[in-house]
Structure 1
Amino acid sequence: MNYSIVLYILGCVLKFESAFLILPALVGLIYREHASVSYLAVAVLCLILGVLLTHKKPRSTNLYTREGFVAVALSWIIMSIFGAIPFVLTGDIPFYVDALFETISGFTTTGSSILTDVESISKASLFWRSFSHWIGGMGVFVFIMAILPMMGGSTMNLMKAESPGPSVSKLVPHVKDTAKILYGIYIAITICEATILRALGMPLFDSLTTTFGTVGTGGFGIRNDSIAGYSPAIQITITVFMILSGINYTAYFYILTGKIKELFKIEEVRWYLAIIFGSVAVITWNVRSLYPTFSETLRHAFFQVGSIITTTGYATTDFDLWPALSKTLLVTLMFIGACAGSTSGGIKVSRILILLKTIRKELSLIIHPRQVKKIRMDGHPVDHETLRSANVFLVVYFVLLLTSMLLISVDEFDFSTNFTSVVTVLNNIGPGLNLVGPTQNFSIFSPFSKFVLMFDMLAGRLELFPMMILLMPSTWKRK
C-alpha cells in the first residue's frame, strides 16, 4: 500500500470540501443566519488539514487499483465526517451520529433522513444537504480530475472505483477530458432544470436545492411534504429531469458529437425507458381508484416510478398507501435502478441485462451442449472480466443485503421496515415502506443500526468493492 499517495489524495479532497463549504456559508450570510459562521469555521479546518496533507508531493505517484479503491472509499468517509460537523455546530442536528447519517445520505445521493421537521432547520443547512447530492451525484473525483491533472493516466483507477456500472470506459483518450465532458453535461442539465423551475414560479432557493436533488438523483426535500406541495407543472418537470438523469451519460455524449446511430444501439437505455413506461401503465391501472382524475393518477404514477427507478426518492404522494401490486413493483424498481454511467444507484439495468443473457446462454447450452455463443451488449461481445465482475457484484450485493437485515433486526422493527430500509439505503433511494415510508424517517433506528445503514449507503454508491476492500487486512500491507 502506497500510504503517501493515499494521504495526498485525502488532502486534495479536504481542500475541495473546504471550497464546497463556502457556498452554504454564503447562503447563511444572505439569509442573515448565524449558521454561516459554523460552515466557515469547518471550511477553514478542512483547508488547514488539506494543506498539511498536500504540502509535500509523494515520491511515488503510482496509483494502482488497490490504492485507487482505498483512496476513494476513505475520501468519501473523510468528506462525510467533516461535512457533518456544521450540522452539529449550528444545532440543526445536535447529535453527531444523526448528523453523520444525514451527511452520508447526502453525499451518496441516498436521501434517507433522520429529520422529523425539515423546514425547521437553517437555510444554510438545507442548502448543504441538497448541495451534497450534487457533489456526490457525478462524483467528487470526477470533479477533481476535471480541474487538476493529479497523477496522469493512473487516475483511471479513481474513476473506476467511483463510477457506477459494471464497466467504466473513457469517452475520449484522456481521463481529464472525459471528466470535463461528464461535468459539462452535468452542469448543463443542472442549469436547464433550475431555469425551467424558476420560470414556472418556483422560488430561486427552492429551484436550486430541488435541482441539486434531481440531477444528482438524491432526493432531499426542503419541505416536509417533499414535492407534493408544488404545482403539477413543476412536478412534471422534475419527473422528466429525474428520468433524464438516470440515462447513461454516454448517450448525451453521442448526441453532442452527432453519433445518433450509436445512440440507438444502447440496449440499456431502451430497456430503461421500456421498464419505466411498462411500470407506469401497471401502476396507473392499479391505483386508478385512489385519485379523482386520470391525469392526476398518471402524474403520480410517472413521478413515483421515475423517482424510485432513478433512486432519487422524491415523493408527491404517500405510495405506502398504494395497493400491494404497486408497492411490490416499486420495490422491484428499487433493486433494478437506472443506467450505468448515470448518477443513479441500484444494481443497474445493464447488470440485469447481462444476468438475463447469461441465464439464457446457460439454458441454451443445456439444449445445445456444443453451441458456441457469446453474450453481447450493444452489438459488441461482453468480455469475461465484465461478466465475472457482474456476477461477483450480485453475490456480494445479496450477502451484504441479508447481513445488514440481520444486524438491524436487533431494533425489533417489523420485516417490511427492516427489509425496505436496507434495500433503500443500499440502492441509494431514500424512502422505504411502513416505518420508513415517504412520510416517515430513519430517526427510529439505534446508533448501531444507523452505522450499519451508513456503511450500506457508502457501499451502494461506490459499487460495493471499495468499501469491502477496506475490511480486508491484506489491503493495508505495505508493498
Structure 2
Amino acid sequence: MFNYKVIGNILGILLLINGGFMLLCLPVSLYFWETEWLSIAISSGITVSVGFLLRFLTRNNKNKDLKKKDGYLIVTAGWIFMSFFGALPYLISGAIPSFTNAFFETVSGYTTTGASILTDIEAVSKGILFWRSLTQWIGGMGIIVLALAILPFLGIGGMQLFVAEAPGITPDKLQPRIQETAKRLWFIYFGLTVTEAILLYFAGMTPYDAMNHSLTTMATGGFSTMNASLAGQSPAIQYIVIVFMFLAGTSFTLTYFALKRNFTKVIRNEEFVVYTLFTLVITLIVTITLLVVTESSFEASFRDALFQVVSIITTTGFVSADYTSWAPFLSVLFFILLFVGGSAGSTAGGVKVIRHVVLFKNSFLELKRQLHPSAVIPVRISGKAMEQNIVYNVLAFIMIYILVFLVGVTLLSSMNVDFDTAFGAVATSLGNVGPGIGDVGPVDNFSAMPMGGKWLLGFLMLLGRLELFTVLMLLSPYFWKKR
C-alpha cells in the first residue's frame, strides 16, 4: 500500500539536511568561544548518522513511484522527525534539559509559531540561539520544498510532496517543473533574508542579531535573541522589520513577478489588494485608539500600531509593545487578528486572507442565489471564476479550523488553564502566531503551561503549519485502507 523504502529514503535525506544545517551553528559557537560547540557537533553527528542509516537501509529500491498517500505520510512524518532530532542541541547542551520543553521549542521553531518556554533568552548561548532561529528559517519555506530541489538527482518525482506541503488553495507554479519552482522560491527567500540582515546591520544591530532577526522575520517566526523582542529598538530597525514582515506575508509568487517587473500581476491580485487594504485600515483604527488612550506622539502611535498589526496578521509574532495593555477594545481586536493569517504561498500561517475572501464572497452570493435559484453564480477571484470544489474546500477548512479551535480550548481548559489563556494559547498555536492573550500575551511565554498542555499545543502548531488536512488525513481510517 505504501512505498516504505521511498518514504524512509526521503526521511533520511531530510535528516541529512537537518544535520547539515546544525553544522552552520558551529562557527557561531566557536567564534564566541562557547563550550556548546561540542553539543552542536554531537547533535549534528547523531542526526546525520540516522539519516545515513535510513538511506542505507532503503537503498537498491527499484520502485521509486511516489503516490499521493506517500506524500502526505512523508510530510507529516518528516516534520515530526525533524522536530525530535532538532531538539537534540537543546537537550545535549542543557539549555533546555526537559524533553517536553525542548520538543515544544523545536516544534514552535519549525512551524514558525514563535511560542517559547525560555524565560531568559539572553542567558542561552549564541550558538544554540542561532540554531533556534535557523529552525524557523528552515520551516519557513518548508524543509519539504527544499528537498524538492534535490529530488531530481534521485529520480523521484516531487509533485506529491509539494501538494501535501501546501494543500488547499496554492499559488500558481512559477515554472512547469516543480523542482525549478522550489529552487526559485528558495532563491527569493535567501535573497530577501540576506538583504534584511544587511539593512538591520546598517541600522544599528550587531551582525549576529541582524542575521538572527532576518532569519526569523522572513520565516514569519518571531524568535528573537532579546528578552524584550524588538521593543525599545530604534524606529529605523522597527520599520525595516515591518517591511520584511509584510513581504514575508505576501505570496512569494507575487514577489517573483514583482522582481520580474510584472507589476500588473501584483496589483490585479485580489488577495494582495485585500491583504494590503485590511492591514492599513486596522493600523489606522489602532493608531487613532492609541492617540486617544495614550500620550504618545503620532509617529510613535503609528509605528507601534503598524508593527503589531503586521506582526500578528503575518503570524510573525515579534513584539514592539504590549498590545494587551493598550485598551480592552484593542485586546479583542488583536485576538480576532490571530485568525486572519497572511497570503497563500507565503511563509505566514493562519487561515490565510484568500480563504476569508472566498468565504465572504460566497456568503454574500448565497443571498443572491436564494433569489435566483436556477442561476449559476460562481465566486470570482481576481476576475476569474473559482471552481466549486475549491469553494467547498475553503468552507470545510474554516469549519474544521473552528472545530479544532473549540476542541483545543476545551482540552486545555480541562488542564486547569484559565479561560483567557486557553483561548489565547490555542488560537496562537493553531495560527502559528506566537503571542496571544492571557498568560501567554506579548510579554509572557509558555513556560508555565502544564506538560500535557505543551504537547497539545505542539500538536496544534503542527496541525496549523500543515493546514489541517495533511495531518488529519492520517488520522482518518480511509487513509489506511488498501485501495
**Structure 2 Cα separation of the partners of residues 141 and 78 of structure 1:** 12
The reply on whether 1:2 has 2:19 as its aligned counterpart is: no
Instruction: Give the equivalent residue in structure 1 for 2:332.
Output: 328
Checking the alignment, whether the CA contact within 8 Å between 1:164 and 1:343 is kept in structure 2 is no
Determine which of 271, 279, 282 is the counterpart of 1:279: 282
The reply on whether 1:184 has 2:187 as its aligned counterpart is: yes
Question: Over residues 68-126 of structure 1, what are the superposed CA-to-partner deviations in whole Å (9 max), with x where a residue is unaligned?
Answer: 11100100000000000110111111101000000000010000001111111111111
Instruction: Give the equivalent residue in structure 2 for 1:266.
Output: 269
> What amino acid does structure 2 have at the position aligned with 1:159?
F
Checking the alignment, whether the CA contact within 8 Å between 2:151 and 2:157 is kept in structure 1 is no
Determine which of 85, 93, 101 is the counterpart of 2:96: 93
Q: Could you say if the C-alpha distance between residues 38 and 141 of structure 1 is closer, same or farther in structure 2, counting changes exceeding 3 Å?
A: same
CA displacement at 1:230 relative to structure 2:
1.5
398-407 or 97-106, larger mean C-alpha shift: 398-407
Identity of aligned residues (%): 39
Q: Unpaired runs of 5+ in structure 2?
A: none
Checking the alignment, whether the CA contact within 8 Å between 2:343 and 2:352 is kept in structure 1 is yes
Per the alignment, in what secondary structure is the counterpart of residue 338 of structure 2? helix
The count of corresponding residues between Structure 1 and Structure 2 is 479
> What amino acid does structure 1 have at the position aligned with 2:461?
M
Instruction: Give the equivalent residue in structure 2 for 1:219.
Output: 222
**Structure 2 Cα separation of the partners of residues 154 and 402 of structure 1:** 38
CA displacement at 1:390 relative to structure 2:
1.2
Checking the alignment, whether the CA contact within 8 Å between 1:2 and 1:478 is kept in structure 2 is no
Determine which of 251, 256, 261 is the counterpart of 2:259: 256
Checking the alignment, whether the CA contact within 8 Å between 1:103 and 1:132 is kept in structure 2 is yes
Determine which of 208, 212, 221 is the counterpart of 2:211: 208
Checking the alignment, whether the CA contact within 8 Å between 2:43 and 2:92 is kept in structure 1 is no
Determine which of 190, 194, 198 is the counterpart of 2:197: 194
Checking the alignment, whether the CA contact within 8 Å between 1:42 and 1:86 is kept in structure 2 is yes
**Structure 2 Cα separation of the partners of residues 438 and 6 of structure 1:** 40
Checking the alignment, whether the CA contact within 8 Å between 1:164 and 1:341 is kept in structure 2 is no
> What amino acid does structure 2 have at the position aligned with 1:308?
I
The reply on whether 1:11 has 2:12 as its aligned counterpart is: yes
- The aligned runs of 1:18-33 (5 Å cut-off) are 18-33=19-34
180-189 or 382-391, larger mean C-alpha shift: 382-391
Checking the alignment, whether the CA contact within 8 Å between 1:85 and 1:96 is kept in structure 2 is no
The TM-score normalised by the length of structure 2 is 0.96
**Structure 2 Cα separation of the partners of residues 338 and 332 of structure 1:** 14
Per the alignment, in what secondary structure is the counterpart of residue 205 of structure 2? coil
The reply on whether 1:145 has 2:148 as its aligned counterpart is: yes
Checking the alignment, whether the CA contact within 8 Å between 1:336 and 1:346 is kept in structure 2 is yes
Instruction: Give the equivalent residue in structure 1 for 2:249.
Output: 246
390-399 or 308-317, larger mean C-alpha shift: 390-399
Per the alignment, in what secondary structure is the counterpart of residue 152 of structure 2? coil
**Structure 1 Cα separation of the partners of residues 318 and 155 of structure 2:** 39
> What amino acid does structure 2 have at the position aligned with 1:115?
L
Instruction: Give the equivalent residue in structure 1 for 2:374.
Output: 370
CA displacement at 1:33 relative to structure 2:
1.2
82-91 or 140-149, larger mean C-alpha shift: 140-149
Checking the alignment, whether the CA contact within 8 Å between 1:107 and 1:136 is kept in structure 2 is yes
Q: Could you say if the C-alpha distance between residues 440 and 57 of structure 1 is closer, same or farther in structure 2, counting changes exceeding 3 Å?
A: farther
The TM-score normalised by the length of structure 1 is 0.97
Instruction: Give the equivalent residue in structure 1 for 2:427.
Output: 423
- The aligned runs of 1:426-437 (5 Å cut-off) are 426-437=430-441
CA displacement at 1:335 relative to structure 2:
0.5
**Structure 1 Cα separation of the partners of residues 166 and 36 of structure 2:** 33
The reply on whether 1:389 has 2:393 as its aligned counterpart is: yes
Instruction: Give the equivalent residue in structure 2 for 1:314.
Output: 318
**Structure 2 Cα separation of the partners of residues 69 and 152 of structure 1:** 19
CA displacement at 1:17 relative to structure 2:
0.5
